[in-house]
Amino acid sequence: ITATILAYCKTMGALENFCDFLRIRSVSHEGPQGAYIEAIIFLRSTYEKRLRCSSVTQFEVSDGRPVLIFSIEGKSPNLKSVVLNCHTDVVPAVDEKWSYPPFDAHIDEKGDIYGRGTQDMKSVGIQYLEALCGLRDRGVDFERTIHILFVPDEEIGGIQGMGLLVRTKEWRELNAGVVLDEGLASPTETYTVFYGERAPIWLRLRARGPTGHASRFIANSANERLFRVINKIYEFRKEQEKEVGMLAECGCSHVVAKKLGDVTTVNCTMLKSGVSTDDGKTYCLNVIPSEAEAGFDMRVATTIPLDEFKIMLESWAAEENVEVDISYMPEKHAITPMSDSWWKVFEHACEKAGINIEPEVFPAATDSRYIRVLDIPAFGFSPMNNTPILLHDHNERIHKDVFLSGIDIYRTIIPSLANHVK
């Protein structure tokens, strides 16, 4: 009975800590005004002692954006470390659209915990910490050093967060061998693990052409040229869209349906043209504009080499004499190849934890991309199965049993990684 009561108390403690973390309103843009530091003070005061850390590092990676690192030194500190990453920020929430206030951590009668960050990704951060506290309480040590990282700004691109952190000496001193980071909830029994992300590209197309009175057949106007390039891009998009859900041969020799992460998406997110003399309140609709511009968000599948994709776009634009201005494009795809030896270790750890996993490419972007381009393997894994994907959505929630079982999963996975000696 004592053991049961003890287990119950621990469960309650983990849930309470999770709810306290959820109540800190660490929305990315507001974070530097105080919520980021509040989150870190909470984490330190709750976990620093219980973890029996060998060191705790806290510093501002940029103005008002603190990073926190709990370190548990391994028995073989020269081995590369295991890094568990969690971003402290969350996306904003529209209060009126929620059944319960998004920063109250309300638990309903079914056991669902409502709150911004319940899936993305405060749950994961607390699960790492609770799993490790449980192990440390029993006096468990590890071969490899473990670092638990809390970083700001992921939800707004991580440029002033992880993007800067990976260039610091503090990062190099972590001597990271493998990184666990966020994944997504899975609506089925199987858990998803992300080993890569599509490459985001942001670009503008600029067309110029003759002007004249709109009552005539003016050939090759700026708008006409721009349309022709846009049409080519949207033809390509149609082909890609058709492939979603179609069967495809994947690298691991079994046949799976293509998902969003396996194809390239393109969306025109800006259009600009027209002749106006009052800053766009009205337009001279009888004048052919001499300039036209379009902006795009593209997410390139990891199977398409980025330089080939760029050449394809540039050739479409060149045919119409349209300029391409790429404002963001990574140098290479951020993927952890399935042949990486840590992949086997991770797979084996999941097997030991008794869970089935499905490898996937993440459809959007996470901080893992900054790590993978350094050729450090990173796995995106949030232990939430039988859970609807509600990140960034209204009524983001997680069932308390799913949250608690995630702690158990990490209690197996983390030591499996940290005790793996090549």
Applying CB under 5 A, which residues contact Zn ion? 120-121, 182
Nearer to Zn ion, 153 or 320 (CB): 153
Residues annotated as catalytic are 89, 154
- Considering beta carbons, is residue 320 or 396 the nearer one to Zn ion? 396
- Is 392 labelled a binding residue? yes
Per the CB < 8 A criterion, the answer to whether 333 and 199 are in contact is yes
CB of 21 to Zn ion, least distance (A): 14
* H runs (alpha helix) in 244-332: 306-319
Q: How many residues would you count in the chain?
A: 422
Distance CA 148, CA 135 (A): 15
Nearer to Zn ion, 177 or 183 (CB): 183
Nearest approach in angstroms of CB 15 to Zn ion is 21
**Is 155 labelled a binding residue?**
yes
Given CA atoms 157, 159, 160, 162 in this order, what sign does their dihedral have? positive
Which residues, in sequence order, are CB contacts of 37 under 8 Å at separation 6+? 64, 66
**DSSP letters of 46-114?**
HHHHHHT-SEEEEEEEETTEEEEEEEE--SSTTSPEEEEEEE--B----GGG-SS-TTS-EE-TT-EEE
Q: Is 182 annotated as a binding residue?
A: yes
Cβ-closest residue to Zn ion?
120
State how far the Cα of 241 lies from the Cα of 254, in Å rounded to an integer.
22
Q: How far apart are the C-alpha atoms of 370 and 334, rounded to whole Å? A: 8
Minimum CB–partner distance for residue 421 and Zn ion (Å): 31
**Which tokens sit at 140?**
């468990």
Q: What distance in Å separates the CA atoms of residue 291 and residue 296, rounded to the nearest whole number? A: 17
Q: Which is nearer to Zn ion, 182 or 320 (CB)?
A: 182
* Least distance from Zn ion to the Cβ atom of residue 195, Å: 17
Annotated binding residue at 170?
no
CB neighbours of residue 167 within 10 Å: 12
Q: What are phi and psi of 313, to 5 degrees?
A: -60, -45
Q: Which is nearer to Zn ion, 182 or 262 (CB)?
A: 182
Q: Count of CB atoms within 10 A of residue 383's CB? A: 26
Q: Tell the smallest beta-carbon distance from residue 91 to Zn ion (Å).
A: 8
Question: Comparing C-alpha atoms, which of 128, 160, 147 is closest to residue 80?
Answer: 147
Question: Nearer Cβ to Zn ion, position 191 or 316?
Answer: 191
Q: Shortest approach of Zn ion to residue 86 CB, angstroms? A: 9
d(CA 246, CA 360) in angstroms, rounded, equals: 15
DSSP designation for 31: G
Which residues are part of a known binding site?
87, 120, 155, 182, 392
Which residues are part of a known binding site for Zn(2+)?
87, 120, 155, 182, 392
